[in-house]
Structure 1
């Protein structure tokens, strides 16, 4: 797979001692930085501290990044941020070190190096790390896959949408399990390209249409709607804002999987969708992140 990324990327790296502070910092940076501006990852070290790495396509404003981190993690952490440049290929390889295959219901997300470790009774989804995150190791991705598995055991949706698809892992999972066409969209054109390549390499390139789109503005949404299943692993604020538009694109009894939520954000998101006629079916929490399964009863 060839990713449409630059030969090198700028990086900001720092360590945080407390898990909850690390998670809040990652969430705050994700909401504060522009879409497509950066990719963020946090990994727990053996000593219990967390390493946070922010990769930028272009050299960042270092003082701005320090100021953002200071608001959540404090001045000491912000001043200790190390800025450097790293080759994209080296970063991809480094990010895969120690990442074992991730099981989630009938699905197993894995890298190329673990292809042989997928059990024959599971659906393997091969995803390599890239500037568009989504290797399956994040709690939001695993939560979505578990809820997707639950939905597909009940009934088989005909029209499926993966909104904010990233690497396309959820779209690929839905296409592999249902053998239905899936529309995958992302606001970042690089993510849309990576998702398209990943779908092809996983053997479902003919089923997954990956597009660059903001919200529900692109023509394919109108031609594909109403959707029987929507997966949206984004962030709390965008999810709340798009609730009315999403409801307009749903079929009766459609299932909606929402993720990218911290526990304290779930009540507001549930309320926004309940106002549009959706009811909560199930809520799960993995690694401090919440995923919701809701159904259209409007």
Structure 2
């Protein structure tokens, strides 16, 4: 079954707004949403939704309905994603990425790892997170900073994708970590990445939508919760994140466009988590918040 991309071509500003609309329309459903710069000089961007071919008609209808009020004349265009070996293709252009003390690299760049680097080997694959996106790199840098400044006894990586963030934290802190994802394929890929990085214990991977799994009660509460998802789901989950956080614990959030920062902060301030620091990378932000109780 082919994969389809439905997209709207627009400006950078409107692409961010349209992505917000798509996040509202599809919520936590298993569709990938993205914005992509097409032409910097002409300010042409695309806001996209990815799905399987059999879902196209339904997704298109919901996209058009979602856009009807603010963007009634927006044209939803279509692209068939070719069935190619994306792992091999994407590796051709990927170079190691540095984030704090971490160096994220593919298996083809093991020789680039320095003596003082904390190496995380992730090949491009079916799960999000090779370190090359601003959200992943920002999270790794923030994890490094938080781990240096505060004691962490238990941690949660919510929406783990490739497992890169959980792997990075486990490499610098010998603590139990729960890593979850809504997508069983992502969990399978993450397990392989954990093995590839020589981690044999202390990192539990579970398929779980949101906080609907007994694993959270079994492993929590957590001194650090990391969630690199999207702004809208993060805002909806704010009460659950706070409920699973230890007193004085830290939260690292990403998958947030710069324009969405204040909305996310407002949602988490509402559950008594206070802002500590924001990292900015390529139009995306990574936010560190802390429970008010020290």
The two structures have a TM-score, normalised by structure 2, of 0.83
How many angstroms apart in 2 are the aligned matches of 1:25 and 1:196? Answer: 34
Match of 1:241 in 2: 236
How many angstroms apart in 2 are the aligned matches of 1:168 and 1:15? Answer: 31
Deviation at 1:35, TM superposition (A): 5.0
Could you say what secondary structure the match of 1:61 adopts? helix
CA contact (8 A) 2:181 2:207 kept: yes
The change in CA–CA distance for 1:287 and 1:33 in structure 2 (over 3 A counts) is same
Match of 2:112 in 1: 117
How many angstroms apart in 2 are the aligned matches of 1:51 and 1:268? Answer: 23
Deviation at 1:136, TM superposition (A): 1.2
Match of 1:10 in 2: 3
How many angstroms apart in 2 are the aligned matches of 1:182 and 1:251? Answer: 14
Number of equivalent positions:
288
How many angstroms apart in 1 are the aligned matches of 2:91 and 2:45? Answer: 17
RMSD, matched Cα: 3.0
2:185 corresponds to which of 182, 190, 204? 190
How many angstroms apart in 2 are the aligned matches of 1:154 and 1:68? Answer: 44
How many angstroms apart in 2 are the aligned matches of 1:34 and 1:241? Answer: 9
Which segment drifts farther, 17-26 or 245-254? 17-26
Deviation at 1:206, TM superposition (A): 1.8
CA contact (8 A) 2:143 2:169 kept: yes
Equivalences for residues 59-98 of structure 1 within 5 A: 59-61=54-56, 64-65=59-60, 68=63, 71=67, 78-79=76-77, 81-82=78-79, 84-87=80-83, 90-98=85-93
Could you say what secondary structure the match of 2:160 adopts? coil
The change in CA–CA distance for 1:251 and 1:109 in structure 2 (over 3 A counts) is same
The change in CA–CA distance for 1:137 and 1:62 in structure 2 (over 3 A counts) is farther
Equivalences for residues 78-227 of structure 1 within 5 A: 78-79=76-77, 81-82=78-79, 84-87=80-83, 90-227=85-222
In the alignment, does 2:266 pair up with 1:271?
A: yes
Could you say what secondary structure the match of 2:226 adopts? strand
> Which deviations, in whole Å up to 9, do the C-alpha atoms of 1:227-266 show, x marking residues without a partner?
1111011122222222222222211211110111122322
The change in CA–CA distance for 1:270 and 1:41 in structure 2 (over 3 A counts) is closer
How many angstroms apart in 2 are the aligned matches of 1:218 and 1:76? Answer: 39
How many angstroms apart in 2 are the aligned matches of 1:54 and 1:197? Answer: 27
Deviation at 1:100, TM superposition (A): 1.5
How many angstroms apart in 2 are the aligned matches of 1:112 and 1:51? Answer: 31
